[in-house]
Amino acid sequence: MIYTIIDVETTGKSNRMTEISVFKYNGETVIDEFTSLVNPNSFIPAHITALTGIDNAMVANSPSFEEIAQPILDITEGAIFVAHNVNFDYNVIQGEFKRIGIEFTRKKLCTVRLSRRLIPGHKSYSLGKICKALDINLVDRHRARGDAEATVILFELLLQQPNANEVFKTFLNKNSREATLPPNLPKATFEALPSQTGIYYFKDKKGKIIYVGKALNIKKRVLSHFYSKTKKSLEMVRETRDIDFEISGSELIALLMEDAAIKHHFPIYNKVAKRNVQTYALFSYEDRKGILHLASNKARLVPNPILTLFNVREIRAYTEHICEKFNLCPKYCHLQEAVAACSHYKITNCNGICKNEETVEAYNNRVLEAIHHISHKKINHIFKEKGRHNNEEAFVMIKDGEYLGYGFIDKAEQINHIDDLNTFLIPQKNNIDIQKIIRPLLLNV
């Protein structure tokens, strides 16, 4: 079997290659080598130069990646791509080929993962620390040739370990979980994840939470992050050293737990949760005939909203509900536009204001009733949810239309009044993101 043991250096955040070193290895000796600086055609930041020693002047007259693409294709052809934390080097090279319109695909092996399996028990598996622990001479750290040469020696050592053949075959199997786990995540941590509904936390080497997610099946959802090739996922997985979780029992409570955890920890990879939420408002106005209308628009354009919701579908569905409940006209609720008289497919109980069959005063009185109903509706409601296990139930508490929190109760407990639930309530903060989750469930309560 032929291997190419590779290391690349890059510009950092923009991930453009500045140096590459490839050692072709036949399982016994190095049979070929290719090493070159690369002009990244982008700026090398000072902190990257401080780390690698490669500056902008050094690469100014070096070949571009396109100029060295063919030698890289040739030396890696038919060989297994090997690197320390292989996904980083592989994705940098694959990305460079993609920019010049060439598809690059090779089988991969990661010496971090192999080291964890074949020589367990070390505190760190970073290249510098594992080489020091194994007395491997590492010259020119953070230069492509120095790191690649040290990885060759480490790889030779791994090939000599008991069960190496079996472990290598397992890691080369594309369907193997081992092949997809982050290099710095212990297998036992992943295997301990449950296949239940709840939330999960990705943590970095300092134990800091860098991502919070929710899932119907925690283990399956976490695994999907490892398969993802997006830049965010690759960076996040590369930083992950530990994964923790909390069981919720139901998707609703998982959503609520996820929001609370994100607001508490502010993980760097939960950028979606930090976006401004577009809201829509229901409002009323009087036309030239004196008829009161109910209409909706983006909340920022409505000075005195009757109700605020979080997407067009929700605001329209609620308008339909109110229109039907109070015998209003779909035309004057703006559920039908540019029609002489209403002819809504579902709402058929209009009293005829659009056909001059009802007085404006009578119609407006019902509109005012609807507005009062919307404005003064203070809902007290308990949502019953599935518990975290068979002997437990869960609940979400709403009082006067406000979210108070959730809780879990043993099925053997006697609950005679809503106030009895306060003992089991886990108080939570109400906010616009929570309202986005809760409000649609309350509209028809």
DSSP states of 131-161 = HHHTT----STTSHHHHHHHHHHHHHHHHTS
Distances (CA, A) of 87 to 91, 227, 281: 6, 11, 47
Helix (H, G, I), strand (E, B), or coil: what is residue 394?
strand
Question: Which pLDDT belongs to residue 347?
Answer: 95
CATH 3.40.1440.10 location in the chain: 187-274
Q: What is the pLDDT of residue 120?
A: 92
Cα(first)–Cα(last) distance of the chain, in Å?
A: 67
Q: Mean per-residue pLDDT for 379-407?
A: 90
pTM, two decimals, is 0.58
Q: Is the pLDDT of residue 181 over 90?
A: no
pLDDT attached to residue 277: 64
pLDDT, averaged across the chain: 91
Q: How many CB atoms lie within 10 A of CB 233?
A: 16
pLDDT band at 174 (very low <50, low <70, confident <90, very high): low
Within the chain, which residue ranges are assigned CATH 3.30.420.10?
Answer: 3-179
Homologous superfamily of 187-274 in CATH? GIY-YIG endonuclease (3.40.1440.10)
Domain 3-179 carries which CATH code?
Answer: 3.30.420.10
How far is it, in rounded angstroms, from Cα 441 to Cα 129?
54
Residue 414 has pLDDT above 90, yes or no: no
| Out of 64-78, 123-137, 167-181, 238-252, least confident range | 167-181
pLDDT tens-digit readout, 143-162: 999 999 999 999 999 999 99
Confidence of residue 115 (pLDDT cuts 50, 70, 90): very high
Determine the pLDDT at residue 211: 96
Q: Is the pLDDT reported for residue 309 higher than 90?
A: no
Q: What does 19-81 look like in DSSP terms, one character per residue?
A: EEEEEEE-SSSEEEEEEEE-B-SS---HHHHHHH---HHHHTTSPBHHHHHHHHHHHHTTSEE
| Mean pLDDT for the stretch of residues 220-237 | 84
Number of H helices, E strands in the chain: 15, 15
In this predicted structure, the answer to whether residue 227 has a pLDDT above a threshold of 90 is no
DSSP state of 365: H
